[in-house]
C-alpha cells in the first residue's frame, strides 16, 4: 500500500490552520479581527449610543437620528455582517462561503420590511431620514440636493 500511496499516506494527519493563510498571509487575520471588533462594537450599541436610559427610550416612540443612526439606519445588521465576514477571512469554509450571501439577502429583506414599518409609523420624517442616511454603510458623499437640505 505504501508503494501506491507514498510513505505515511493512509495515516497522515490533515493540515491544521486557517485555509486562506496560504493565499492571504496574515493580512486576512488582521482583516478578520478588525471586522469582528468593529462589528461587535456596532452590535452592542457602543458604536453610537442613543440618548437616554433604556427605560426612557422604551417609553417614547420617537425616531432616533443621532449617534450611529445619523450615519446608517441598521447598525446592528451591519455589525453582524462584519462579524460573519470576519469569520470568513479567518476561517473560510464552504458552508460559510455559501451561507454569507444568503444571510446578507435575508438581512436586506428584513431591513426593507422594517423600513416600511417605520415609514408607516413616522411618515414623511422617516422618508427624509432615509434619503439622508445609508442603509448599511454611511453615505460618503451626498447629492447636491441633500447637502443643500442639510445645511438649511
* pLDDT over 80 (residue 70): yes
pLDDT of residue 51: 47
* pLDDT over 70 (residue 67): yes
Tell me the pTM.
0.65
Write down the H helix ranges in the chain.
Answer: 2-5, 21-24, 27-43, 54-59, 75-90, 94-122, 124-132, 144-151
pLDDT of residue 92: 78
* pLDDT over 80 (residue 18): no
* Cα 42 from Cα 38, distance rounded (Å): 6
The domains of the chain are located at 25-45+63-132
Q: What is the pLDDT of residues 75-127, one digit of tens each?
A: 999 988 988 888 887 777 888 888 999 999 999 999 999 999 999 999 999 99
Amino acid at each position: 500500500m505504501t508503494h501506491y500511496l507514498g510513505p505515511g499516506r493512509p495515516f497522515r494527519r490533515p493540515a491544521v490552520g486557517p485555509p486562506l493563510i496560504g493565499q492571504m498571509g496574515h493580512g486576512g487575520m488582521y482583516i478578520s479581527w478588525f471586522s469582528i471588533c468593529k462589528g461587535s462594537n456596532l452590535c452592542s450599541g457602543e458604536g453610537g449610543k442613543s440618548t437616554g436610559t433604556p427605560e426612557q427610550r422604551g417609553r417614547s416612540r420617537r425616531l432616533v437620528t443621532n449617534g450611529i443612526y445619523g450615519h446608517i439606519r441598521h447598525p446592528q445588521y451591519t455589525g453582524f455582517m462584519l462579524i460573519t465576514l470576519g469569520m470568513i477571512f479567518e476561517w473560510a469554509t464552504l458552508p460559510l462561503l455559501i451561507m454569507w450571501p444568503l444571510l446578507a439577502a435575508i438581512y436586506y429583506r428584513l431591513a426593507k420590511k422594517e423600513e416600511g414599518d417605520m415609514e408607516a409609523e413616522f411618515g414623511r420624517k422617516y422618508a427624509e431620514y432615509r434619503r439622508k442616511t445609508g442603509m448599511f454603510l454611511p453615505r460618503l458623499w451626498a447629492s447636491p440636493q441633500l447637502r443643500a437640505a442639510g445645511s438649511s
